[in-house]
Amino acid sequence: MQDKPKLGFALSAKMGLSLLGEVPLVAETPEELLDDDTTPIAHFFVRNNGLMPQPTGDPEGWSFVVDGEVERPLRLTLAELKSRFPHKTYRMVLECGGNGRSFFEPQAAGNPWTNGGAGCAEWTGVSLSDVLREAGLKETALFTGHFGADPDKHGSHEHQAMSRGVPIAKALEEHTLLVWAMNGEPLPFLHGGPLRLIVPGWPGSLSQKWLTRIWIRNREHDGPGMTGLSYRLPVHPLPPGSDGKGVALRILESMPVRSIVSAPADGAHYPEGTRAIHIRGAAWAGDDAVARVDVTLDGGATWTEAAMTPPRNRYDWVRWQASASLPGDGPYEIFARATDSQGRAQPFHAANWNPNGYGCNVMHRVRVTVGPEA
């Protein structure tokens, strides 16, 4: 973490993130900076697939369309959206589909996220379902297709950098929002302001930034990010390193259960004689709830159950804490393991290798030492 380059002045509003790519801009949050109940904007990860659009001088006049399989196609400005539909604020996790990818062996293609391609912010907007109701879904409405104002990574507006979509049932969930504010502030440009989607629990790529259009379709959407190996997992396990050609695939929908240790930080040192350490972190589980979090300092021989603070609303993360007693000085490895409400727990080793490296939820490992300063 320490040896990765830090963000330059282009992202001066961001503090302490690790840069994974400059063009397109990709930056993740070290786990120890995810120690707040609500992730501050300054620490929230950034993922672009193309270049950024022109910032607008008139946020309230920003408009988007809803068209396709609807009775009444709509064009709404942000001002109209705010005045015509009930406002909702939820604290919800946004997580990149490739979060955890760097832990796959051998390395899978794509940005080498550790666990910091995720954050949990308060999003304010309106339910997409309220807008779709106004447009009137036809019986043929099966899927959404999302469009943004950003050019692709070559600067061309002919193709979308990313254009994904969801089955209509996910679009109709109350928590799927059209969002204009983050942590009570106008949605920052870097995070898709003035207007973006938030599709919680599923890969972040569905949460279109700089939103210009929602195309209601009568079939699965086929924009960039929807075809080939994109956001697809093998139905049956693949030998690590294989190219995934010709195997049965399914689209990654709900993200798998994950926990992070946000304190102590990896590499922390405690004075000699320390016999208890306090550990805290966060856990979340896609569409599912977190049932429990356990920590171990002895490689899984013994586990301590963490105390969890309940989520504020569905898709919020749980904050958890645990105290662990230590038998003596020495090096310790902390592992945190979350289990979802269907009994699925995080593995010690990533078992679901796939060519594009999605959904790796291997346990977060934090190394600490107790003893005299070296």
Ligand X SMILES: Nc1nc2c(c(=O)[nH]1)N[C@H]1C(S)=C(S)[C@@H](COP(=O)(O)O)O[C@H]1N2
Whole-number Å distance between alpha carbons of 56 and 60: 10
Closest to Mo ion by CB, 100 vs 125, is: 100
Q: Report which of 106, 349, 109 is spatially closest to residue 239, judged by C-alpha positions.
A: 106
Q: Report which of 217, 237, 188, 194 is spatially closest to residue 82, judged by C-alpha positions.
A: 194
**114 sits near ligand X (criterion: CB under 6 A):** no
Closest to ligand X by CB, 50 vs 264, is: 50
**144 sits near ligand X (criterion: CB under 6 A):** no
**47 sits near Mo ion (criterion: CB under 5 A):** yes
**294 sits near ligand X (criterion: CB under 6 A):** no
Q: Which 277-336 residues touch Mo ion, going by CB under 5 A?
A: none
Q: Which 185-204 residues touch Mo ion, going by CB under 5 A?
A: 204
Extract the tokens encoding 218.
Answer: 């009568």
Sheet hosting strand 330-340, strand order edge to edge: 269-270, 364-370, 330-340, 290-296, 304-305
**93 sits near ligand X (criterion: CB under 6 A):** no
Question: Min. distance of Cβ 222 from Mo ion in angstroms?
Answer: 19
Question: Min. distance of Cβ 283 from ligand X in angstroms?
Answer: 19
Q: Which 156-175 residues touch ligand X, going by CB under 6 A?
A: 161-162
Specify the stretch interacting with ligand X by CB under 6 A; choose among 57-65, 203-211, 269-277, 300-308. 203-211
**48 sits near ligand X (criterion: CB under 6 A):** yes
**46 sits near ligand X (criterion: CB under 6 A):** yes
Query: Amino acid identity, residue 361?
Result: N
Kindly give the pairing relationship between strand 364-370 and strand 269-270. parallel
Question: Min. distance of Cβ 188 from ligand X in angstroms?
Answer: 8
Q: Which 26-45 residues touch ligand X, going by CB under 6 A?
A: 44-45
**210 sits near ligand X (criterion: CB under 6 A):** yes
Question: Min. distance of Cβ 34 from ligand X in angstroms?
Answer: 13
**49 sits near ligand X (criterion: CB under 6 A):** yes
Residue 238: which residues within 8 A CB-CB, separation 6 or more?
244, 247, 353, 354, 355
Which one among 111, 127, 183, 205 touches ligand X, defined by CB under 6 A?
Answer: 205
Question: Which residues are 179's β-sheet partners?
Answer: 125, 196
Residue with smallest beta-carbon separation from Mo ion: 96
**199 sits near ligand X (criterion: CB under 6 A):** no
Residue count, binding to Mo ion (CB under 5 A): 4
Whole-number Å distance between alpha carbons of 366 and 263: 9
Specify the stretch interacting with Mo ion by CB under 5 A; choose among 37-45, 93-101, 328-336, 364-372. 93-101
Question: Min. distance of Cβ 150 from ligand X in angstroms?
Answer: 5
Closest to Mo ion by CB, 70 vs 96, is: 96
Q: Which residues bind ligand X (CB under 6 A)?
A: 44-50, 94, 96, 148, 150, 161-162, 191-192, 204-205, 207-210
Q: Which residues bind Mo ion (CB under 5 A)?
A: 47, 96, 204-205
